Amino acid sequence: MDTQGNGGIVVVGSGVVGLTTAVVLAERGRRVRVWTREAAERTTSAVAGALWWPYHIEPKASARRWALRSLEVYRELAGRPEETGVRLVEGAMGEVDPADVEGWTAGRLPALRRAAAHEHPARNAVWARLPLIDMAVHLPWLRARLLRAGGTVEERTVSDLGAVDAPVVVNCAGLGARDLVGDTSVRPVRGQLVVVENPGVDTWLVSTAPDGELTYFFPQPGQLLLGGTSEDGVSSLEPDPAQAEAIVRRCAALRPEVAGARILAHRVGLRPARPAVRLERQALPGGRTVVHHYGHGGAGVTVAWGCAEEAAALAASS
């Protein structure tokens, strides 16, 4: 039963965090409206590589808890990959301490082991079977799940949370929170990737150089995503040809067959980074409430379900 009055709850933002939060609320019986400046297919989430891993997100302890809860959900969704876009795929994560990973995952990754030398060039690397999400399928599926639960989605720009006609507002504006609530600690971290025809790669790989330079490839249905970049404070959405060439070159050094793969597309997204995720309740004038829920950096997909459940609890207790 929705106890929030006729206005229900408005979730601002339709990236993976916003849609997942709206789904959780709607499936708990709340009247939910999503207000979004742009359709989910045009958000940063739509261009995410979307491998489950708590990448560049603080606070670490909370992020790991959210990630493990999300892992449970993604494993269930992986039973219907064509519908949900979620698959469990094996691959190698470099520059991580296997003992540390074993510690924080607490046995939740049964296939976890130290990567062999031929599987990853790094001295410290793990081999694991992790959720890999095809966002072109997953975001529309989330939206459809929300609609089935009675929620709605409207394309409308929000410039003032205080003017939203709902007793509870959940602010999932991501990078937009910088202007929406004046949070200058939110900053863009630019990511670029190259989409190529898959030459037969069926495992993923992530490697981080000492200078922070990223190299990764993620097999998705019918294509291979090559990455990447992590440019703090850079907000250009234009693909850089030189960066694209460097990305292909680095990936080809690890999998030579990538060098001749036909390029299908170039993608650029701006990760909504913040020193720590903002997940808190704040009073609005007139006895109304806003739940701030943004700043997930490059790990929005990874923590979406765990974080959404905590945000929904805050909204429900308002």
pLDDT in tens, 15-58: 999 999 999 999 999 999 999 999 999 899 999 999 999 998 99
**Which residues make up each annotated binding site for D-dopa?**
216, 271, 298
**Which residues make up each annotated binding site?**
44-45, 158, 216, 271, 297-302
pLDDT in tens, 273-302: 999 999 999 999 889 999 999 999 999 999
Domain of 285, in residue numbers: 1-85+134-186+274-318
Q: What number is the average pLDDT over the span 60-74? A: 98
* Among 5, 94, 85, CA closest to 304: 85
Q: What's the confidence (pLDDT) of residue 7?
A: 62
Q: What's the confidence (pLDDT) of residue 264?
A: 98
Residue 47 near residue 268, CB atoms below 8 Å: yes
Q: Is residue 209 in a domain? A: no
Residue 61 token pair: 């302890």
Peptide bond into 228 cis (omega under 30): yes
Q: Is residue 198 in a domain? A: no
pLDDT in tens, 69-78: 999 999 999 9
Q: Is residue 263 in a domain? A: no
Q: Is residue 231 in a domain? A: no
Q: What is the mean pLDDT of the chain?
A: 95
DSSP sequence for 61-118: HHHHHHHHHHHHHHHHHTTSHHHH-EEEEEEEEESS-HHHHHHHHTT--TT-EEPPTT
Alpha-carbon 210 to chain mean position: 24
Q: Is residue 7 in a domain? A: yes
* Among 273, 311, 310, CA closest to 292: 311
Which domain CATH number covers 148?
Answer: 3.40.50.720
**Which residues make up each annotated binding site for FAD?**
44-45, 158, 297-302
Confidence at 4, pLDDT banded by 50, 70, 90: very low
Q: Is residue 11 in a domain? A: yes
Q: What number is the average pLDDT over the span 114-126? A: 96
- Which residues is 90 bridged to in the sheet? 129
| Distances 39 to 154, 180, 188 between C-alpha atoms, Å | 9, 18, 20
Q: Is residue 124 in a domain? A: no
Q: What number is the average pLDDT over the span 230-245? A: 97
| Total domain count, the chain | 1
Q: What number is the average pLDDT over the span 143-152? A: 98
